[in-house]
A and B are shown apart, each in its own frame.
Chain A
Amino acid sequence: MSIIDELQSLKAEALASIADAETLSQLDSVRVTFLGKKGSLTRVLRGVGFLPAEERPVVGKISNEVRAVLEAAIQERQAALAEADLAARVSADAIDVTLPGRKRLPGRKHLINQIAEEVVDIFLGLGYMVAEGPEVELDHYNFTALNHPPTHPARSATDTFYVRDLSQGLDEDQGPVTEVLLRTHTSPVQVRVMERQKPPVYVIVPGRVYRRDIADPSHLPQFQQIEGLAVDEGITFGDLKGTLDYVCKELFGRDRMTRFRPHFFPFTEPSAEVDVSCGICAGSGCRFCKKTGWLEILGCGIVDPNVFGYVDVDPEVHTGFAFGMGVERIAALRYDIPDLRMLVEGDMRFLRQF
């Protein structure tokens, strides 16, 4: 057999082996077998030296062609095998994507504080600062300076929690009504703010307040209130209406309406209660709003000149408005909470809903 025939049969044999290689390592040993230093092609080419000089270039050319063909075949086969290999791995890696994700959920903010923050943020946008005050208050700030007469029923020990006054020491015998109490509204902060800041005053006061109500589905002895106070030159009752109308629309929806019903509060005059139109029946009357079409939401009014008297603001120069809303009430209306006590139980299943 001539050397050329040998090269041709080697080529055929090698191409068959390349095609048969099932894995990259088999393919590699095929490469070594045929193209390696000790491989078949090398061995055949060693015989070239024994050929007559005129045949050598022809054989050299053919052998180079064979090498090129084989290298190309190996490369092609290599790519095909790598592709198949990846496909196999990918296929083995398939998962059930419907299994639950691995998560560490962030915690939730308490519903009441979510709402309080929402209200506060609305007022920050309207240019109000946030003010705070103590939860244990003096009668002076909670009642007297808010124009409550000495016999006002809210001052009775049946309505208000009184706190033992230790200013005279530990042993002093005390009646049921002291000068120290758990604030019954956030309004005392009005007085504290005006004592230390001259008008203009624009503040919003979120805070916890206390009243002697037995805890039941619609009452808690402690709850959250948000107070607002604006004192400036030229503040009007219309400003109060516009502000609260805007806030109610932000809180409950653009389509909701408000109405102002004259009412009485000791520390504002004129005073009003504000209703927002019922979201269930849109004002036509349903069970949710007790057929009135309206839901009572807050109390408000023009700051009474007597209150200004306690903090040395001249009512002839400055006027102001104030309002107070119960956050639990808003929560109950917005989410139809059946029992306010759920708000203080700390049940994870409740807290995670909001």
Chain B
Amino acid sequence: MLVSMKWLKELVDVDLAVPDFVERLDMTGTAVEAVRTRGEELEGVVIGSVLMKEPHPDADKLVYCRVDIGTGDPLRIVCGATNFEVGDKVPVACVGATLPNGLTIKKAKLRGFTSEGMMCSAPELGLGGDATRLLVLPPDAPVGVRFSEYQGTTDTILELEVTPNRPDCLSMAGVAREVAAVTGKTARRPSSAPAESGTPVTESVSVEIADPDLCPRYTGRLIRGVKIGPSPPWLAERVTSAGARSVNNIVDITNLVMFELGQPLHAFDASTLATREGVGAVTVRRARDGEVLTTLDGQRRTLDSEMLVIADDSGAIALAGVMGGESTEVTSETRDILLESACFNPSSVSRTSRSLALISEASMRFERGGDPQGCVDALDRAAALMAEIARGQVAPGIVDAYPVPASDRLLELRVERMNSILGTDIPIEESAAILSALGMEVTPSDSKTLSVSVPTFRSDLEREIDLVEEVVRAWGMERVSSTLPGGRGRIGRLTPRQRWIRRIDATMRAVGLNETMTYAFIDPTDLERTRMSLGEEERFVEIVNPMSEEQAVMRWSLLPGLLRSVSYNQRRGVFDVHLYEIGTVFSTSSGRKLPREHTAVGGVLTGAWSSQVWSGDSHPLDFFDGKGVVEALAEDLGSTGLSLRVSELDWLQPGRSAEVLLDRKAAGWLGEVHPKVAAALGAEPPIVAFELDVDALLDAAHDTRTYTEIPRFPAVTFDVALVVDESVTAERVEQAIRKSGGALLDSVRLFDVYRGKGVPEGSKSLAWALSYRAPDRTLTDDEVRPVHEKLVRKVCAAVNAHLRGE
């Protein structure tokens, strides 16, 4: 909502300076989004006097002029208009000026003549009038003075953010009422009663509402014999200050009254209405499915029965509350005007304007709620102006279809209750004064309660709490003292699950991964790209109205997003990437309304922990670095049940791919991303990745740990290198060792894996350090050796191994 300060000051006294005024509005709930100075756009337009006017030698339709703009150096201007003489005063846009229509004036050559500016028509200056004629000013217009200054169009315009509950503030009168209430002034409401003449309106027009649920009230007046023409400057200025374009006197009057009183009006050319026995019969009814209407913007629109139209016997002539129809449009030939002032159902207007993508000043007001009681005031005001400005004759009477007249709402405000909600001590008298200033009728029903009659223009005030808000915003939220809730005591604590997730988060960072966030919506074709799959019955969670096809489904895995982040880094020369994300993954299936949501923790590692360090240790990250992360996580969660199951997962490189099990239950996967998958997402392998289900992790987590005695006696360690077939896993060998170990075996550690010289093709050597220890004495080599030799024999038999070098 644009508010001209000049206009506003006619409706209410404002004695605050602009910044203070703006702050007062801000602090009482009318947000001022911007403050602009009007007239600035006419910077560079000055008043000039024509010194010379000669025909252009090479162009019939152009004239060549010299124009004095008070600088002592008359401008050379080539001009297309001819409605002026030497000595006339005209507005001149100098080089560099930008006009309201966006045109920037440059020095130009027109048919060989230099033109150093432009003499302007009224529309070029944002005013109403004939675009083919220069705006010739009175002879006393001062040469060289800025046009906006001369016109008095310099003005401060406030851009207000009117919240959806306050349609009453979408008008100058409404803003003035609000301003009066919060600054302690009195608003002046514009109104006029038209002088009536001729035959009564009812002899020419009838109105009927067929669907009163969508149209509480429809009123009309007939103005005969209007002369359509440009608006007088004050009218053009008013409507342009409110953000509209000056069209002609009739359209401008309807807009003026809408801006002034907040009531949208529509003018029909009365002669175009289909008549029934000489009477133009207007019906407000639902459109028929498939009914067609060409609106004022020239668009042919197909309607449906959810939309409301104004119709005559020939069909729809306007889209109620949204836009008029072309067939009944006011033209320069129009003589008789049927003026509509009505109230339409907000939801219906909203639906219609949205489904046709047609938002107008009128629809914007109606969808927030009109005031049926305000229809006639606006009608009278516009009719009076049409009589005055367009010399029309206002037919006696109005047509008024108003099936169920609206009445003021009665509310009670318990002042004690209000103060207990606010934490204030606002006196009853002060509360009453605030509500009265806002236009309500207030009477105390007892010493603690106000009885409040709410006028129909404040349809947002329906309950006591709405009045509480009115009082506190005008009284001043800044005056409410700050306290903290008391209550009977409470405890702030994370739940066990929330604490575990923080633990997972901390472990991820402790092992060197950095947290990232990726988009939760991804490309459905990422499923093929990553060679992943959903379960048999599982479906994507599809977005009906995605921003793009690349973001059309909710992620079922963190992997696609994380791989894209790897690619993003690599393409920018960052090759050491260690990322993790804890986030929601989604899937659904037939019959589900809400999808399944799981929290997952995923990670990607590529490059080295730290490349190019002088001290070495920058091995390229591989499977085992990822496995190390998963192991660290399991350990930190107190889980001893971690195991990997060799498993060929399509998105991982065969042979470097495993399922992660916790207490033998599936918890996720781990591996090196298949080179084809990496390539499909623009990332460079090798990339280690994993994804684990957080709830599976939490199921395996234990937060009770038990104390085990620290050994008091030293261990005896024997190393053994066992040559086994490639197909024998380290895990199998370790299990065999532990099984054969006996009571003295204390720990088993793999310290080397060797292939090559001395080890046959197809075999590998696994070197183990086995520690033996007794809890009650120091063991000797002699005591341990037979135990160790027996163990080695048993293991060799179990996994078909032999000692390296034998």
Residues on A with beta carbons closer than 8 Å to the beta carbon of B566: 346
Residues on B with beta carbons closer than 8 Å to the beta carbon of A170: 539, 590
A103 to B436, CA, bound (A): 72
Given A164-B544, A269-B465: A202 and B490 within 8 A (CB)?
yes
Q: Are A163 and B589 in contact (CB under 8 A)?
A: no
Asked if A234 is an interface residue, CB under 8 A from chain B, the answer is yes
Given A208-B520, A214-B547, A347-B569: A151 and B492 within 8 A (CB)?
no
Residue of chain B at shortest CB distance from A305? B465
Q: Are A124 and B544 in contact (CB under 8 A)?
A: no
Q: Are A166 and B592 in contact (CB under 8 A)?
A: yes
Asked if B104 is an interface residue, CB under 8 A from chain A, the answer is no
Asked if A319 is an interface residue, CB under 8 A from chain B, the answer is yes
Q: Are A134 and B346 in contact (CB under 8 A)?
A: no
A236 to B133, CA, bound (A): 65
Q: Which of A101-156 contact B (CB under 8 A)?
A: 102-110, 112-113, 117, 123-130, 134-138, 149-153, 156
Query: Closest CB-CB distance, A292 to chain B, in whole Å?
Result: 9
Residue of chain B at shortest CB distance from A177? B544
Which of B27, B509, B519, B584 makes the CB contact (< 8 A) with A107?
B509
Which of A134, A166, A261 makes the CB contact (< 8 A) with B31?
A261
Asked if A25 is an interface residue, CB under 8 A from chain B, the answer is no
A99 to B615, CA, bound (A): 9
Given A99-B614, A102-B617, A136-B541: A346 and B367 within 8 A (CB)?
no
Asked if A271 is an interface residue, CB under 8 A from chain B, the answer is yes
Residues on B with beta carbons closer than 8 Å to the beta carbon of A232: 485, 487
Residue of chain B at shortest CB distance from A123? B492
Given A105-B512, A135-B597, A166-B593: A238 and B584 within 8 A (CB)?
no
Q: Are A242 and B166 in contact (CB under 8 A)?
A: no
Most buried by B among A104, A110, A134, A169: A110
Q: Are B568 and A345 in contact (CB under 8 A)?
A: yes
Query: Closest CB-CB distance, A119 to chain B, in whole Å?
Result: 13
Residues on B with beta carbons closer than 8 Å to the beta carbon of A270: 422, 465, 468-469, 472-473, 477
A343 to B518, CA, bound (A): 8
A348 to B28, CA, bound (A): 46
Please, how many residues of chain B have a CB less than 8 angstroms from a CB on the other chain?
Answer: 104
Asked if B287 is an interface residue, CB under 8 A from chain A, the answer is no
Given A127-B491, A346-B516: A136 and B554 within 8 A (CB)?
yes
A147 to B551, CA, bound (A): 30
How many residue pairs link A and B with beta carbons under 8 A? The number is 281
Please, how many residues of chain A have a CB less than 8 angstroms from a CB on the other chain?
Answer: 98
Residue of chain A at shortest CB distance from B488? A200
Q: Are A212 and B545 in contact (CB under 8 A)?
A: yes
Asked if B482 is an interface residue, CB under 8 A from chain A, the answer is yes
Residues on B with beta carbons closer than 8 Å to the beta carbon of A260: 477-478, 480
Asked if A221 is an interface residue, CB under 8 A from chain B, the answer is yes
Asked if B543 is an interface residue, CB under 8 A from chain A, the answer is yes
Given A214-B547, A269-B465, A347-B568: A107 and B422 within 8 A (CB)?
no
Interface string of B530-547 (1 = CB under 8 A from A): 000000000101111111
Residues on A with beta carbons closer than 8 Å to the beta carbon of B351: 151
Residues on A with beta carbons closer than 8 Å to the beta carbon of B513: 107
Residue of chain B at shortest CB distance from A137? B594
Binds A, one of B199-207, B257-265, B290-298, B575-583: B575-583
Most buried by B among A103, A138, A164, A182: A164
Asked if A161 is an interface residue, CB under 8 A from chain B, the answer is yes
Asked if A227 is an interface residue, CB under 8 A from chain B, the answer is no
Q: Are A179 and B518 in contact (CB under 8 A)?
A: no
Given A151-B347, A179-B593: A163 and B514 within 8 A (CB)?
no
Which of A107, A178, A182 makes the CB contact (< 8 A) with B508?
A107
Which of B469, B494, B580 makes the CB contact (< 8 A) with A271?
B469
Q: Are A346 and B562 in contact (CB under 8 A)?
A: yes
Asked if A241 is an interface residue, CB under 8 A from chain B, the answer is yes
Residues on B with beta carbons closer than 8 Å to the beta carbon of A177: 544
Residues on A with beta carbons closer than 8 Å to the beta carbon of B516: 110, 346, 351
Most buried by A among B508, B509, B520: B520
Query: Closest CB-CB distance, A348 to chain B, in whole Å?
Result: 5
Residue of chain B at shortest CB distance from A171? B590
A6 to B513, CA, bound (A): 80
Q: Are A180 and B591 in contact (CB under 8 A)?
A: no
Residue of chain A at shortest CB distance from B593? A167
Asked if A176 is an interface residue, CB under 8 A from chain B, the answer is yes
Q: Which of B493-524 contact A (CB under 8 A)?
A: 493-495, 498, 502, 505, 508-521
Given A104-B609, A166-B539, A238-B482: A136 and B519 within 8 A (CB)?
no
Asked if B420 is an interface residue, CB under 8 A from chain A, the answer is yes
Q: Are A269 and B469 in contact (CB under 8 A)?
A: yes
Asked if A79 is an interface residue, CB under 8 A from chain B, the answer is no
Residues on A with beta carbons closer than 8 Å to the beta carbon of B615: 99-100, 102
A344 to B591, CA, bound (A): 33
Asked if A34 is an interface residue, CB under 8 A from chain B, the answer is no
Residues on B with beta carbons closer than 8 Å to the beta carbon of A167: 591-593
A275 to B466, CA, bound (A): 23
Asked if A32 is an interface residue, CB under 8 A from chain B, the answer is no
Most buried by A among B469, B511, B595: B469
Asked if A352 is an interface residue, CB under 8 A from chain B, the answer is yes
Residue of chain B at shortest CB distance from A117? B502
Residues on A with beta carbons closer than 8 Å to the beta carbon of B517: 110, 112-113, 343-344, 346
Residues on B with beta carbons closer than 8 Å to the beta carbon of A164: 541-544
Interface string of A216-251 (1 = CB under 8 A from B): 000001100000001011111111011101100000
A181 to B90, CA, bound (A): 60
Asked if B611 is an interface residue, CB under 8 A from chain A, the answer is no
Residues on B with beta carbons closer than 8 Å to the beta carbon of A222: 519-521
Asked if A253 is an interface residue, CB under 8 A from chain B, the answer is no
Given contacts A202-B490, A230-B485, A261-B29, 10 further A-B contacts (CB under 8 A): A117-B502, A125-B492, A136-B594, A158-B545, A161-B521, A161-B543, A163-B544, A180-B593, A269-B469, A347-B565
Going nearest first, the 4 A-B pairs with the smallest beta carbon separation are A346-B565, A238-B423, A236-B423, A262-B29
Mind listing 20 A-B residue pairs with CB under 8 Å? A109-B509, A110-B514, A110-B515, A110-B516, A123-B492, A126-B484, A127-B492, A136-B554, A161-B545, A162-B545, A166-B590, A176-B544, A230-B485, A239-B484, A243-B484, A259-B478, A262-B28, A264-B29, A315-B465, A346-B517
